[in-house]
Amino acid sequence: MTGETKKIRLRFAPSPTGYLHVGSARTAFFNWLYARKTGGKFILRIEDTDIARHQEEAVNKIFSSMKWLGLDWDEGPGAEGKYGPYRQSLRTGIYKEYAQKLIQKKKAYPCFCTPEELEEKRKISRDKGEPFKYDRKCLKLAPEEIKNNMDSGMPYAIRFLVPENEVISFKDTVYGDIRFESNSIDDFIMIRSNGLPTYNFSVAVDDALMGITHVIRGEDHLSNTPKQILIYRAFNFKVPNFTHLPMILGMDGQKLSKRHGSISIEKYIEDGFLKEAILNYLALLGWSYDEKTTIFSVEELIKKFELSSINKKPAKFDYNKLLWINGHYIRNMPDSRLAELIKERIKNYLGPKKKSELENTFYTIDQKITEIIPIIKERIKTLNDSIDLIAPFFLKISFSSEYKNYFKNKNIDAAGILEKARIAFGKKDRELCSEYVEKSLRSICEGLNTGLRKVAEVIRIAVWNNKVSPPLFDTIEILGRKITLERINKYMEVIKSS
């Protein structure tokens, strides 16, 4: 590992205004990946100075989601380092200090214009069909006037004095050479009249003071970069390497929203997705290794990830592809781990049920789920999918009206099939294993000169209250003799009564 590589420092700096959504999670993951690939440091910084949108509870949601994903940070809240504090609300003194330095260097100035004055200026620009640009009224104030305004307690903001006729250029990893003319940039506010910093000023100061060498963030920040570079130049700070990630759109080409599927990591956890699948899919949103490989472990991603392989074209979020990837990880997961992940969901689902609704096997839930996993794992794409396939093993069934007269007008002797099955399954000298169940049902088919599909349909509805179930022979073995016979008897009564 070279000395230069060891110095690489990246940061993820979310604003706690809500849940950790897909776009932010991808940004965090790409920063984390590159830090782990290069042996660098991954820093978490909370940008919480937007009072109007700030949600303190969102801070813990961000922490918990990142921990669930396995995106551990080397420095940040809970892992304090020498560059802290790592919450911007605790760094306001730093921003004011650096703003004053720029005022002393004649690179910033106080602005006493009221919001009403500024809105009037914007209205004039709109009426003329021109973009608004501050007219530098307060730059022209005499020193005595500035002092008098401050002594009288007049509120003021601090504006950055944008140099004229300069070219601001940088090379972005994804978008290549970018150029901005300084004359197109307004004298932007660095410190608001309430004493809090604006985004561009605080980010530039923090990144510089925290030694950030690489900035990886969404392409919506591309237009902020020239203002931040101006701040770097004003302090003679070293400008970091920039990588702006492509937008994430829905499959319809529109901005990603809830209609395209879940968009927050918290919701994916709730819906039963695996972190391995989420990380795998996040990596595919704007990055590719080759044209054919889809499945990557985190270890493989760390090894293969390159900033130069990030695409410029917007990524499209395909919820069905995410489901497929999640299903892949479920199918390839050890049964024991899958059982552990599913147990709590099943217990939470069955917990509120009344005792009268439960079969007497509820107390054996851990053992039963271990037996059930092998026969359902090929059929589920999320952990939540397992509930419909597992709950009937523990809940008493009540036959729907659909199945009360289901066989009435069909050429199937349902009652006769059930009677023969009851006799076969009731033989206590025979173990009710899947092999015996299959042999018994095939024997019934031969005796009635009918196909297994018809016989199996009758038995499946009797023991599962549905035409679709997990593999029938295994299902009956797991249900056990007592419950299987109870359900057959109950369905026979339903058929006779109707």
pLDDT at 70: 97
Q: Residue 19 domain-assigned?
A: no
**Contact assessment for residue 226 and residue 180, using Cβ atoms and an 8 Å cutoff:** yes
Q: What percent of the chain has pLDDT over 90?
A: 83
Q: Say which residue the tokens 């016989």 belong to.
A: 455
Residue 298, number of CB atoms within 10 A of its CB: 18
Q: Residue 380 domain-assigned?
A: yes
Q: Residue 73 domain-assigned?
A: no
DSSP secondary structure code for residue 287 in this structure: B
Q: Which residues pair with 395 in a beta bridge?
A: 358
Cite the DSSP H helix spans in 189-238: 199-209, 225-235
Is residue 46 over pLDDT 70? yes
The parent domain of residue 365 ranges over 335-393
Tokens at 114, concatenated: 């009221």
Are residues 129 and 229 both part of a single domain?
yes
176-181 and 167-172 beta bridge pairing: antiparallel
Backbone angles phi, psi at 189, to 5 degrees: -75, 135
State the Cα–Cα distance between residues 363 and 376, nearest whole angstrom: 21
Q: Residue 407 domain-assigned?
A: yes
In 3D, which of 94, 127, 291 has the Cα closest to residue 209? 94
Strand order across the 157-160 sheet: 108-111, 157-160, 189-191
Backbone angles phi, psi at 347, to 5 degrees: -65, -40
**Contact assessment for residue 40 and residue 72, using Cβ atoms and an 8 Å cutoff:** no
Are residues 166 and 235 both part of a single domain?
yes
**Coil, strand, or helix at residue 148?**
helix
Give Cβ neighbours of residue 355 (< 8 Å, ≥ 6 apart): none
Cα first-last separation, the chain? 78
Give Cβ neighbours of residue 37 (< 8 Å, ≥ 6 apart): 302, 303, 305
What's the pLDDT band for 2 if we cut at 50, 70, 90? very low
Q: How many residues would you count in the chain? A: 498
Number of domains in the chain: 4
For 58, the enclosing helix (H) or strand (E) is: helix 56-69
Are residues 238 and 285 both part of a single domain?
no
pLDDT per residue over 113-131, tens digit each? 999 999 999 999 999 999 8
For 196, the enclosing helix (H) or strand (E) is: none
Are residues 145 and 128 both part of a single domain?
yes
- Answer with the one of 217, 245, 273 that is the final residue of a domain: 245
Peptide bond preceding 226 in cis form (omega within 30 of 0): no
Are residues 325 and 424 both part of a single domain?
no
Tell me if residue 258 is catalytic. yes
Give Cβ neighbours of residue 416 (< 8 Å, ≥ 6 apart): 448
Are residues 362 and 436 both part of a single domain?
no
pLDDT at 262: 62
pLDDT per residue over 135-187, tens digit each? 999 999 999 999 999 999 999 999 999 999 999 999 999 999 999 999 999 99
What string of H, E and C letters represents the secondary structure of 66-85? HHHHCCCCCEECCECCCCCC
Phi-psi region of 40 (alpha: psi -120 to 50; beta: other; left: phi over 0): beta
pLDDT per residue over 275-333, tens digit each? 999 999 999 999 999 888 999 999 999 999 999 999 999 999 999 999 999 999 999 99
pLDDT at 3: 44
DSSP secondary structure code for residue 332 in this structure: T
- Answer with the one of 196, 219, 245 that is the final residue of a domain: 245
pLDDT per residue over 424-436, tens digit each? 999 998 999 999 9
pLDDT at 4: 45
**Coil, strand, or helix at residue 170?**
strand
CA dist 51 to 48, 87, 289, 306, Å?
7, 13, 41, 37
In 3D, which of 5, 11, 7, 4 has the Cα closest to residue 74? 11
pLDDT at 362: 60
Active-site residue, selected from the candidate residues 128, 140, 258, 313: 258
Is residue 377 over pLDDT 80? yes
- Answer with the one of 213, 245, 277 that is the final residue of a domain: 245
